[in-house]
Every structure is written in C-alpha cells, then in structure tokens.
Amino acid sequence: MLTLTLADFVAARARIGQHIHHTPLLSSRQLSDRTGFEVRLKAEMFQRVGSYKIRGPLNKFTFLSDEEKRRGVVCSSAGNHAQGVALAAQIHGIRAVVCMAENATPAKIAATKAYGAEVVLHGQIWDEANEKAKELVRTEGLTYISPFDDPHLIAGQGTLGLEIITDWPTVDAVVVPIGGGGLISGVSMAVKSHNPKIRVIGVESSDGPAMKQSVEAGALVTIDCRTIIDGLRVKRVGEHTLSVCQRFVDEIVTLPDRDIFDAMIWVMERCKVMPEGAAAASVAALLHGLVKLPPGSKVVAVLSGGNLNLDRLRGLQWN
C-alpha cells in the first residue's frame, strides 16, 4: 500500500520547486459567511499550465532513466494532464506524445501542441484515449505517464498539500475534487503527515462517482460515467489512488453536474477568479452544505485549475 511521508513531499518540492508557482490561498468572505466556516481557496488556476497537473510530471521525470528519456513519454488526458506532461517534457528536453479524446477542449489541444507535444486524438472518453496511449507504449517503446496512478506523480501532486499546511498550518479540513484520485491522494497524505486530525473531503460528480463507488465496494469498480465535466470524467480510478483514499480520505460527497457548474459561476461572480468545472466541485460541496464541520472551522477548498472551455459553457442547456 502506498504511503508517503512529509519528508517525501518536501523532497518532491525540492525537485520541482524551481519550475512551479507556490499558488495563493485566497480568503473568501462571502463563502465564509455562507457556510459559517473560515474558508480559503487554493487558487491553482494561477499555476503554470493553469492547473496542478504540472507538479506530478515534473517529479516523475526526475526518476526516468537516460534511456527512457531518450525514447520519450506518452500519456492520455482530458487536457490538463496533457499540458502538464507537455511542459514538463519540454523543460526536461524529452519527446512527449499525448493521446486525447476527440471531444477534448480545443484550447487544451492547442495549448498542448504549443508546449511541443505531439497530439493523437482517439475515442470519446479518457479511458479510450488511454488505450491508445498503452498501444504506443507497445509499438514505439514510449514510457507511459499515468494521469493519476503513479507514486512519483502522486508525490508531485501532493506538493499542493504541502503548500497548504505551510501557509495555514492550523487548517481543520481540506476539500478536494476527485477525478482519478491523484490529487486527493497526494494532498491527503501530505496534510495528514502534518496533522492526522485534518479532515480530507473528496468531491465527485454524482454522474460519475468512480472513487466513491470503489471505496464503498472495497475494490476497483468500473462505472458508466455520464458526467460532462472533463476533469471528473473517469470510469475507473487507480489501484494506488483507491488504496490511499480508503486510508486517508475521511469522506467522499457527490453532486450533479449542474450544481457544480452553478458553483463555478458563483465563484466567478463572487470571488473574481475563474475555475474550470472540476475545480468548482469543492466549492459546490460547501455551498450545498455537504461539508459537515463545527462552525468556525478553517477550511481550504482546492480550486484545482482554470482551463475553462467557454464555448462549451455557452452551449449548455439545462432542463
């Protein structure tokens, strides 16, 4: 079972620190008033590539052999992992191939190419693009970079949690969106290595709760994923991430896509920052009273990124 210590996250931060931003914790008076908690927003939309996804690949690449670096890497992604791998590969001088679903956000495709990666479009969901990436491992000898289920990647993502406890060591709870589980795995181990009493609450779309169903079943479950939110759209989480969530995540709550999108608009209007859909899941859980804590608790809501597809947002129609 994967267990990382505070020293592991400090070491990961030392490896990647020169290439990432220490993103701010933003106070939110309106969210605090609305919930009765003292709420701060971990604004990872100000990170390089617009999300936390640069952290993990940067750490992972420091462990590749010279031969693996020479052959290059491949990944699959809804967009943010693609950009993180592409920029990390550019920094390390490594060839990167990124497999993306055919319906991926055009802006994310363009950004990935701009960082120098080769983009291969395949399938309609991450899992299908992932099969293409695995095929390229077999046919071209590329090294596969998991979007969430790799110990070195999880350690890199967990540096976000290290920043939270550095900036607010007395925090009581951290609310984190869940897609495949790489972010919440790293964050949960990082903050609990500082203080095991810090509650970690995960948030998924009720239209695609792969982690919640797997935790409840006690084993990996492949679901019929119906969410349209890119960063939350996973049919099956990872072995490492499930194991970590079983041991370090206190609770997983779910909301429908519409409530998450409404929270995204709320954050734009009230907090004056622009989260993408997946990032707003943490705030949605707070707005809908799903986070049960004593009044006055110190709570961080992780805004995991800001790569928003405005064209898709304009086209949404709700019944």
Give catalytic residue positions: 53, 304
- From first CA to last CA, the distance across the chain in angstroms is 44
Three-state DSSP at 159 gives: helix
Side-chain half-sphere of 109: how many Cα atoms within 13 Å? 12
Cβ–Cβ < 8 Å for 179, 282: no
To which H or E segment does residue 99 belong?
Answer: strand 96-100
Cα 317 to Cα 319: distance, rounded to the nearest angstrom: 7
For residue 138, the surrounding DSSP H or E stretch is helix 126-140
CA distances from 34 to 176, 236, 258, 287 (A): 19, 34, 20, 7
Q: What is the DSSP string of 10-50?
A: HHHHHHHGGGS----EEE-HHHHHHHSSEEEEEEGGGSGGG
Reduced to 3 states (helix: H, G, I; strand: E, B; else coil), residue 205 is strand
Q: How far, in whole angstroms, is CA 55 from its chain's centroid?
A: 10
